[in-house]
A and B are shown apart, each in its own frame.
Chain A
Amino acid sequence: MAVSESGSDSKLGSGADLRFLSRIFDFAVALIVLMLLMAAFHVHAMLTIGDWDFWVDWKDERFWVVITPVLLITFPAAFQYIFWENFRLPFAATLCLLALVLAEWITRVTAFNMWAYMPFSMVWPATLIPGAIVLDLVLMLTGNMLMTAIFGGMAFGLMFYPGNWPMLAAFMQPVDVHGSLMSVADQIGYTYTRTSTPEYLRIINRGTLRTFGGSAAPVSAFFSAFLCIIMYMIWWQIGKFFCKLITIPNVLRTHMGYGQEEKPNEGDLPLKA
């Protein structure tokens, strides 16, 4: 039942009433989606990135820079398909990363600090909001998945490290700890006890990446950007998959009184319903 153009009364009520109901529906769905994203995306981040985002002494130039954007472009890409193809709304990625960072701060305050006594200087989360906004804007301005994957996905990967550097740089200054060179982040990790997490469990700066004496971060960022392009396209398709209504043929239909001749066209069912 459509809302009449003039706003005149329908069987459900006046046009103003329907518009009000529509807005209530909007905000209810928005709240549900935000909560859903906070929970699901946060679980995804904890299970896949985990320690690299939990601790300041895991935020290295190789693994953290590569892994974080690649694994966090997933939900934004899938939700961009859903938001864009169905509603032409270009803020899905921003909403995803906003939900994630809010959920992360809730966890950092309640679980890491209040429950496990970790200091905030050790457990602050990274942010990917700048890359997410760019991802949304590229989609809005180009209206094209491929362009968004190439330029938006690349920007998402490339902007991660410089976007977090203003928060991280102070922790990468050198200190002398009992005659060993450490960064401030290393010293924080050494000082504040994670009882069952011995130092050798840290997966940081391993490998034989040659940077001719320079920083490994730019190389990692470009590699991450390349992977983000691929990952974006994969998860866009996953978003598309979840927008489809899938039906399973009823193999018992003949036993339920339906004749063979009544078999409907497969594509008709979802649209007519």
Chain B
Amino acid sequence: MKLERLVFALLALTLFVTAVPASVLAHGERNQEPFLRMRTVQWYDVKFPDKREYAVNDLIEISGKFRMHYDWPQVLEKPGEAATFLGIAVPGPTFTREALDINGKPVPTSTNDILIGHDYDFRVVMKARRPGDNHIHPMLSIEGSGPIIGPGIEVKVTGSQDDYVKSSQIMTGEKIENLETYNLTTVVTWHAFWIAVALSWALYWLARPLLIPRFIMVHNKEWDRLITPTDRKVGVVLLVSVISVVIGAYVYTDMKYPTTIPLQGGKTIVNNTPMIEPKITVSVDRGEYYVPGRTLTVVMNVTNNADAPVRLGEFMSANLRFIDSSVPAAVANVDSAYPTDYALVGSLKVSDNSPIQPGETRSIEAIASDTAWERERLVGMLRSPDNSFGGLMFFFDDAGNRYIANVGGPILPNFQKSTGE
């Protein structure tokens, strides 16, 4: 009786798991080690579309910038030496890739031109192919480092996958109506043909007594009775036929498709823009993470080499944006379509956020406090063998101009007391 109940429970569980419509709410980015997210690719100024519902065949565009963090983890291969590929993090081909651009140039293949310290504009355009609720993200894959996923949004796709169409144009003029089904008739026909031939040959032998009688005859050395002259004649005919079909089909296909090229595996060249000398420099004195309070405190010296007084408005790390709500330009910098999970307005406090004058160096304490540290599993940085944090600091002047500074350094855990007590 217990066994029956167990079987019933397992069946019910299986039915529940398979019957509930699947939706993907994230792409495992939270499972990536914090040092991967905090000290490699810094995605910023990412623009998402306002719409969250699309039909099959609709286009969705995400654009923005990314900076290759200056303090690239030693354990990872360096971009430039390693190949890099801009892609999209979606559940397989539920969305197809229509365009991938870096610095305004299409990058359909990988590139070796993405360098540490540089900023890049990116744009990904995808086309909805399969209905469902899915998260979509930009993603930069770096050989030896893996995929680094940018911020994402959840979108709903409606319609039917059967309506999806992706056409193309061969350079010799022929139009491909749909890549989904292109040349499938030929593929299936040839497979069916060879399977039929193979089955016929197997059945030719299966039709006669097979194992026991033949085994006995082999051990009695009655080999001539097992392979008869008729078998040999059939064999010769089949041998000549198979070779003739292969050669004939090859020659015919070559005539049918006179213009073919090998698969293209070259790297794309990306136009690098020169690195801009930062007008604001940050030197970290101490980084501390208060575990019970989910708070990162960074004590740092900020030097303002710009022409105008500036205030710290935002600290960005691992796609999380800690924003000081007392800096209007920082709040205004948050796009309305940006996912609220990542834009944490009011989560950044600065010990002395009065404007830092041009030429002034000031020690300030930036306190980024939010449960997002826990939710995004960034607390794992305390268990890392290379215990450091990284990110970008955004400073703003009164005119709304923004200045970006790199920030990073070792981090100390505080398990006991609140910071500043």
Taking Cβ atoms with an 8 Å cutoff, the residues of A that contact B are 2, 19, 22-23, 25-27, 29-30, 57-61, 85-91, 94-95, 97-98, 101-102, 105, 116-121, 124-125, 127, 129-130, 132-134, 136-138, 140-141, 143, 155, 159, 162-163, 165-167, 169-188, 190-196, 198-200, 202, 204-206, 215-216
Task: Tally chain B residues at the interface, Cβ within 8 Å.
Answer: 96
Contact B209 A26 (CB under 8 A): yes
Contacts of B190 in A (CB 8 A): 127, 166-167
Q: How far is the CB of A28 from chain B (nearest CB, A)?
A: 10
B19 within 8 A of A: no
Contact A105 B191 (CB under 8 A): yes
Contact of A121 among B181, B216, B252, B262 (CB under 8 A): B181
B8 within 8 A of A: no
The 5 closest A-B pairs by CB, nearest first: A198-B141, A178-B106, A198-B85, A200-B83, A162-B250
Contact A87 B218 (CB under 8 A): yes
Chain A to chain B contacts (Cβ below 8 Å), 30 pairs: A22-B211, A88-B217, A90-B227, A94-B201, A105-B191, A120-B181, A120-B184, A121-B183, A124-B187, A124-B191, A130-B194, A133-B197, A162-B246, A162-B250, A165-B253, A167-B183, A167-B186, A167-B187, A173-B171, A176-B171, A180-B106, A180-B264, A181-B264, A182-B264, A183-B262, A183-B264, A184-B176, A199-B109, A205-B265, A215-B262
- Among B88-96, B305-313, B374-382, B391-399, the stretch that binds chain A is B88-96
Contacts of B84 in A (CB 8 A): 200
Contacts of B215 in A (CB 8 A): 86-87
Contact B263 A129 (CB under 8 A): no
B180 within 8 A of A: yes
B97 within 8 A of A: yes
B231 within 8 A of A: yes
Contact A169 B87 (CB under 8 A): no
Contact A193 B227 (CB under 8 A): no
Give the residues from 154 to 187 in chain B that come closer than 8 angstroms, CB to CB, to chain A: 161, 166, 168-172, 174, 176, 179-184, 186-187
Contact A194 B257 (CB under 8 A): no
Contact B210 A89 (CB under 8 A): yes
B249 within 8 A of A: yes
B130, B256, B261 interface centre (most CB from chain A within 10 Å): B261
Contact A195 B108 (CB under 8 A): no
**Nearest-CB residue, chain B, relative to A119:** B180
Contacts of A182 in B (CB 8 A): 108, 264
A22, A167, A182, A188 interface centre (most CB from chain B within 10 Å): A167
Q: A60-B263, A187-B179 are in contact. Are A192 and B168 (CB under 8 A)?
A: no
Q: In whole angstroms, how far apart are the Cα atoms of A204 and B97 in the complex? A: 21
Q: How far is the CB of B112 from chain A (nearest CB, A)?
A: 9
Contact B199 A117 (CB under 8 A): no
Q: How far is the CB of A123 from chain B (nearest CB, A)?
A: 10
Contact A133 B242 (CB under 8 A): yes
Q: How far is the CB of A266 from chain B (nearest CB, A)?
A: 20
Contact B260 A172 (CB under 8 A): yes
Q: How far is the CB of B78 from chain A (nearest CB, A)?
A: 15
With A173-B171, A174-B260, A200-B141 given, name 18 new contacts (CB 8 A).
A59-B263, A85-B218, A98-B198, A98-B199, A101-B194, A105-B191, A120-B180, A121-B179, A129-B195, A130-B245, A134-B239, A166-B186, A167-B183, A169-B260, A170-B182, A193-B94, A195-B147, A215-B262
Q: How far is the CB of B123 from chain A (nearest CB, A)?
A: 12
B27 within 8 A of A: yes
Contact B106 A22 (CB under 8 A): no
Contact B93 A118 (CB under 8 A): yes
Contact of A29 among B97, B98, B126, B211 (CB under 8 A): B211
Contact A178 B209 (CB under 8 A): no
B2 within 8 A of A: no
Contacts of A133 in B (CB 8 A): 197-198, 201, 238-239, 242
Contact A119 B247 (CB under 8 A): no
